[in-house]
Amino acid sequence: MHLRAPLAAVGLSAVSVLLAGCFAAGAGQTTGSSGGDRIKLAMMQPPRSGLTPFSDDAFKLSRWSTAETLVTLDGNGDARPGLATEWRRTSDTAWEFTVRPGVSFHDGSVLTAAVAVNTLTRSAKAVPKPRILDGVALTAAAQGDKLVVTTGTPDPLLPQRLSSPQLSILAESAYAADGKVTPVGTGSGPFRLVQVNGTTSATLDRYDGYWGDKAKAAGIDVSFVPDGTARAAAIRSGEAHIAEAVPVSQAALLDAQTISEVPMPRTNTLYLNTKSGPFADPALRAAVRETINRGQIVSTVYENRADIAKGLLGPALPWTVQARKEVTGRIAAGRANGATITLATFTDRAELPEVASLVQQQLQDAGFKVNQVVREYAHIEQDMLAGKFDAFILSRATVLDSGDPVAYLKSDFTCGGSFNIARLCDENVEQAVRKAEGAEAGDQRRAAILEAEAAVLRTDAAIPMLHERVIQGDATSVADSVKDPRERALITSATHLK
């Protein structure tokens, strides 16, 4: 069995070298010229797409409070005002939004309905399209001071969709003629992004022209630190005030006052390639379903800081736990008979290689021959999406974009889904997801979502193993950082050092 080495086994000099290599020069400065303290932030993943808001990099912009959306979400996932103050549905396919007055961008330009139209139009035409717009034909137009957004088919969750950080509204100067987008100096939030040093660091300063409450901190100094041990050590050493995604293995080594832990809508899932290779056989997929020992993974790798998965959606969405029924109609498990498979995962989340080693052992005990591939996410994503692995372990946020699981179900498990790692194309799943997508918000939609989840589980294309928890490190000097299950918010205008 793969065992983690305790931190004590790492020499103090080695940790010092590791920290020195991770944090950018000058990031130790805590007082800004405009007064107040600067917050030092250690983030897990560096930008993957040059911080374009059309990619998952948008969530960094959101967590830094530099880019904002028309709509925000409350704790229940209900739509609340953002850069739009109100909205109404004018027809089955059209919505009218009132754009917030008095908003200026970091380049000095002013927010108008036409500026919002520019962003939404470019988002809809982007290649690749933002995940939140998968399968959505969206057009936007300015009618006086109103923004009118129209979809090709009725979309009852359009306001929630517009809350995605991938649809952050930027100044017109953000968009170059060649299609590139830069958020440097073009957002509207309380912090202005002033510099990005590739995949090493980023610098933000307080924006005193912000339309809302001014930031209490003078700025944010971001370091991208993929190594989880280094992020945790940065909290102990004072190199960082806040560290996101503290590995489970490091949580117990930190002062309990510096650790927070909340359930999050993130599922650690084993995706099986249903299109080619051994797992094109449903009986072999069922064999994997029966083989995986979730409790062993949770207790051994996650030290019981995770929840055993009963489905794709977990306790961060309490209604799923309360209303879920046992899945029926599943195919009986076959025998492995020595089938050779390639199991892959990535290193960016420290627990995943350990999970892969344990899953490999479980599958080998069941009669599979397992080859393992582990790389950094940036170096494995292309092969993962191309279906080059038989099985892939992924830590996946299930309500990341709209606050609603349908976007995740559609992206990951429908024939045309942009993140369909399992390469699943099943008519029952297609029908169930379409039904959920068209259902009105409330009990009707929640019931349809659980039906779609059951349809996916019936295929065994994805074997949910556990639901993760947010483990965040905050120095005792930090006040009012956000512990957000959706990983959209982290540092806000209220966050400061005591």
**Within a domain: 8:** no
Say if residue 261's pLDDT is above 60: yes
**Tens-place pLDDT, residues 203-226:** 999 999 999 999 999 999 999 999
Phi and psi at residue 275, to the nearest 5°:
-95, -35
Number of Cβ within 10 Å of residue 197's Cβ equals 13
DSSP state of 71: E
Burial per residue of 92-122, b for 16 or more beta-carbon CB atoms within 10 angstroms, e otherwise = ebbbbbbbbeebebbbebebbbebbbbbbeb
H helices of 292-442, in order, are 294-300, 318-323, 351-365, 377-385, 406-413, 427-438
**Within a domain: 15:** no
Can you give the CATH number for the domain in which 187 is found? 3.40.190.10
**Within a domain: 188:** yes
Domain that holds residue 424: 264-468
**Within a domain: 411:** yes
Strands 71-73 and 496-497: unpaired
Token pair in block for residue 97: 């939004």
Can you give the CATH number for the domain in which 354 is found? 3.10.105.10
Token pair in block for residue 357: 């080693």
Among the ranges given (8-22, 349-363, 393-407), the one the predictor scored with the smallest mean pLDDT: 8-22
213 and 331 together in one domain: no
180 and 306 together in one domain: no
Say if residue 449's pLDDT is above 90: yes
Predicted confidence at residue 179, as pLDDT, reads 86
203 and 277 together in one domain: no
**Within a domain: 381:** yes
Average pLDDT rounded to a whole number, residues 145-157: 93
Predicted confidence at residue 18, as pLDDT, reads 47
Predicted confidence at residue 192, as pLDDT, reads 98
358 and 389 together in one domain: yes
229 and 308 together in one domain: no
H helices of 23-77, in order, are 58-63
196 and 345 together in one domain: no
Say if residue 34's pLDDT is above 50: no
Spatial neighbors of 484 by CB under 8 A, at least 6 apart, are 470, 490
**Tens-place pLDDT, residues 36-74:** 699 999 999 999 999 999 999 999 999 999 999 999 988
**Within a domain: 3:** no
221 and 315 together in one domain: no
Question: Quick one: which of 181, 151, 152 has its CA closest to 169?
Answer: 181
- Between 269 and 247, residue with greater pLDDT: 269
Residue 442's pLDDT band (cuts 50, 70, 90): confident
Predicted confidence at residue 30, as pLDDT, reads 47
**Within a domain: 419:** yes
191 and 135 together in one domain: yes
Instruction: Judge contact between 484 and 490, C-beta under 8 A.
Output: yes
Which residues face 98 on adjacent strands?
A: 86, 146
489 and 420 together in one domain: no
DSSP state of 13: H
Cis ω for the linkage preceding 128 (within 30 of 0)? yes
272 and 379 together in one domain: yes
152 and 282 together in one domain: no
**Tens-place pLDDT, residues 342-372:** 999 999 888 999 999 999 999 999 999 999 9
Instruction: Judge contact between 47 and 473, C-beta under 8 A.
Output: no
The domain total for the chain is 2
Residue recorded with tokens 């997801």: 433
**Within a domain: 2:** no
Average pLDDT rounded to a whole number, residues 136-160: 94
109 and 232 together in one domain: yes
Percent of the chain with pLDDT over 70: 92
Predicted confidence at residue 29, as pLDDT, reads 45
Q: What is the C-alpha separation between 488 and 206, in angstroms, rounded?
A: 19
Residue 128's pLDDT band (cuts 50, 70, 90): confident
pTM (global) more than 0.85: no
